[in-house]
Structure 1
Amino acid sequence: MNFLRFAARRLLEMAATLLGASFVVYGAMYLAPGSPASFLLSGRSASPAALQAINQQYHLDDPFLVRYLRWLGQVVRGDFGRSITYRTDVSTVLADRLPATLLLVAMALVIVLAAGLVLGWIGAVRGGATDSTILVTTTLAIGTPSFVAAVLLQGVFAVGLGWFPSSGAGEGLGDMLWHLTLPAIALALYLIGMLARVTRSAMLEALDGDHVTVARSRGVPERQVIGRHVFRNSLGTVLTTSGLIVSTLLVCTILVESAFSIGGIGQLLELSTTTKDFPTVQAVSLIIVALFMVVNLVVDLLHPLVDPRVTLGSRRNDA
């Protein structure tokens, strides 16, 4: 029952937050200079009648609140409007672009979790020169922006060695995995360093705990001490960081998709912002906000499972 009440309360909070975000997302584009009509006219002069027809078609001459409520009602029904740039439904454009972005984020997340956890584990357990080497490596990774990593990987492994494609998302699952390998690594590099450091710090803190000393004094094998008493007690911190990692991946994918011309929603958002494609920008922004909130909800629901000291609705440092 506590789980259901907590989930219901969080869903209500998400709905309220999403409503507020929708108002900000819808209104923000109208604060920028320019208008969709100017893009549609492509710099050509137009008669007042032609300009009025464009404004009526896209409801640009209606009061702001009327436009927002009309758009919100359409969004609730799953209708994000019609793209000004592509002259088709935004939902159709998103359906074509979203799979590549989701696959890219999923691949990058797998790479981050695998490499970050392993490096953090090794650094905390081995110590010495191994730990120092990992610290230097992760520092370099953290200091390398995603777009810089994208350019370097593209120049070496795509253009120089020819091992991977230099652009595009591919067609079919196998081809997409091949095309998105370099972009996923570029997207994951910075976050690997961050997760490795967080894992290392959490495990070092757990290694100093009394429960570890007691387990060792009882003759528990070191492998079990590390796995059950150290790493498991570090998972709460790692899980919280993983939520931040997913959110960061969703944001940074814009840069990587542009570098590799992947054609996902990140590149779509960049292009739509440039061309004042209001319906597309609003839809993509709202989807990203919704994904952020879903990630945070999943982290909150999983936290008590990996760390029994945390209860639903509480934070670890409040316990």
Structure 2
Amino acid sequence: MTFTRFALRRLAEMAATLLAASFLIFGAMYLAPGNPASFLLSGRSASPAAYQAINDQYHLNDPFWQQYLRWLGQVLRGDFGRSIEYRTPVSTLIGARLPSTLLLVGMALVLVVVVGLALGWLGAVRGGATDGAVLVGTTFAVGTPSFVAAVLLQGLFSVKLGWFPSGGSGSGFGSMLWHLALPATALALYLIGMLARVTRSAMLEVMGHEHVTVARSRGVMERQVIRRHVFRNTLGTVLTMGGLIVSTLLICTVLVETAFSVDGIGQLLDLSTTTKDFPVVQAISLIIVGIFMLVNFVVDLLLPLVDPRVALGTRGATG
């Protein structure tokens, strides 16, 4: 299969999957208990005419299929509707909070890749006490959920030691980096442990392959053997985790942003779910699904470049 044909097929699959996801997301909000009109009235009693006016304004009484098609048409034009709680366009709300979330996820992703790969490399290459320490550390990391890590880090480094801010997003790039340091660490901890373990296992497996033994018998320096013949052959396995890593970061950012009071889309999703702000929940959910699918699409395109033995459209461990 040619690269162009594969890319076009995957794009068509992504479009179909997004359409199905949009239907499920809208349907879940449609079937959710509660009435947005009650929130708009802030618990105040209102006449049937007032309820009718609100329902007409937001088309809440229209049949499901009409509401869905109207919403889908707006989404295709880049219009996610109007927030019920904030009374402003949803795209404006998301646009204001998206930079904080993207920076948080980006910082966490850098930590996951750099620290996870480094620990996996050390455990596989050094062995002995170093490998034991890596296994103990990664076991602790994998066993610590993001919200627990957020509470522990906030209590130690913010409340007790006062080294980092306890919450907020900061203003300006430097201030944002400082404020998001602890949230990014809490967000990355679990994935660091998981990636380190996968990298270590993959490298140990490749070390037992014949081509590695042959390279060593020819007098190739151990450093080059590890870099060219071992680590390079594990990158395919690591790359297949790309979608899982990004999706986990996006999901866990809801808990971490809430714990650290970060003004991102994760916190916005949590607040909007509580207040039944359906347009915001629908928009953020669809964006998360789209990002996840885009990452998997990029991984599928890069995998054959990292490991030529993998054909376009296939996934699996290399070695």
* TM-score normalized by the length of structure 2: 0.98
Higher mean Cα deviation, 307-316 or 277-286? 307-316
| Deviation at residue 4 of structure 1 after TM alignment | 1.1
Q: Structure 1 vs Structure 2: percent identity of aligned residues?
A: 76
Alpha-carbon distance in 2 for matches of 1:202, 1:15? 34
Higher mean Cα deviation, 242-251 or 309-318? 309-318
SS at match of 2:177: helix
1:163-312 matches, cutoff 5 A: 163-312=163-312
Deviations 1:121-162 (A, max 9, x none): 000001111101110110011111111111111111111111
Alpha-carbon distance in 1 for matches of 2:108, 2:37? 39
Alpha-carbon distance in 2 for matches of 1:103, 1:26? 28
Aligned position for 1:12: 12
| Deviation at residue 88 of structure 1 after TM alignment | 0.2
Aligned position for 2:59: 59
Residues 258 and 267 in structure 1, CA contact (< 8 A), matched pair in contact too: yes
Alpha-carbon distance in 2 for matches of 1:241, 1:279? 31
Alpha-carbon distance in 1 for matches of 2:255, 2:183? 10
Alpha-carbon distance in 2 for matches of 1:175, 1:189? 22
SS at match of 2:311: coil
1:66-85 matches, cutoff 5 A: 66-85=66-85
2:53 pairs with 1:90: no
Alpha-carbon distance in 2 for matches of 1:110, 1:318? 23
Residues 111 and 185 in structure 2, CA contact (< 8 A), matched pair in contact too: yes
| Deviation at residue 30 of structure 1 after TM alignment | 1.8
Alpha-carbon distance in 1 for matches of 2:298, 2:173? 27
Residues 191 and 245 in structure 2, CA contact (< 8 A), matched pair in contact too: yes
Deviations 1:279-307 (A, max 9, x none): 00000000000001001001111101111
SS at match of 1:88: coil
Residues 309 and 316 in structure 1, CA contact (< 8 A), matched pair in contact too: no
> What amino acid is the match of 2:139?
T
2:2 pairs with 1:2: yes
In the alignment, structure 2 segments of 5+ residues that lack a partner are none
Alpha-carbon distance in 1 for matches of 2:244, 2:120? 17
Alpha-carbon distance in 2 for matches of 1:81, 1:241? 34
> What amino acid is the match of 1:87?
R
Alpha-carbon distance in 2 for matches of 1:313, 1:293? 14
> What amino acid is the match of 1:68?
Y
Residues 233 and 318 in structure 2, CA contact (< 8 A), matched pair in contact too: no
2:114 pairs with 1:114: yes
Alpha-carbon distance in 2 for matches of 1:172, 1:4? 41
| Deviation at residue 237 of structure 1 after TM alignment | 0.5
In the alignment, structure 1 segments of 5+ residues that lack a partner are none
Aligned position for 2:126: 126
SS at match of 1:262: coil
Aligned position for 1:50: 50
1:148-167 matches, cutoff 5 A: 148-167=148-167
> What amino acid is the match of 1:131?
D
> What amino acid is the match of 1:132?
G
Aligned position for 1:103: 103
CA RMSD, 1 decimal: 1.2
| Deviation at residue 318 of structure 1 after TM alignment | 10
| Deviation at residue 32 of structure 1 after TM alignment | 1.6
Residues 158 and 164 in structure 1, CA contact (< 8 A), matched pair in contact too: yes
Alpha-carbon distance in 2 for matches of 1:142, 1:317? 21
Q: 1:204 to 1:318 in 2, by over 3 A?
A: closer
| Deviation at residue 45 of structure 1 after TM alignment | 1.4
Aligned position for 2:23: 23
Alpha-carbon distance in 1 for matches of 2:95, 2:121? 39
| Deviation at residue 317 of structure 1 after TM alignment | 6.2
Alpha-carbon distance in 1 for matches of 2:103, 2:7? 27
| Deviation at residue 315 of structure 1 after TM alignment | 2.7
Alpha-carbon distance in 1 for matches of 2:279, 2:300? 32
Q: How many residues are aligned here? A: 319
> What amino acid is the match of 1:133?
A
> What amino acid is the match of 2:265?
I
Alpha-carbon distance in 1 for matches of 2:263, 2:184? 14
Alpha-carbon distance in 2 for matches of 1:18, 1:311? 25
Alpha-carbon distance in 1 for matches of 2:91, 2:10? 27
Deviations 1:214-237 (A, max 9, x none): 000111000000000000000000
* TM-score normalized by the length of structure 1: 0.98
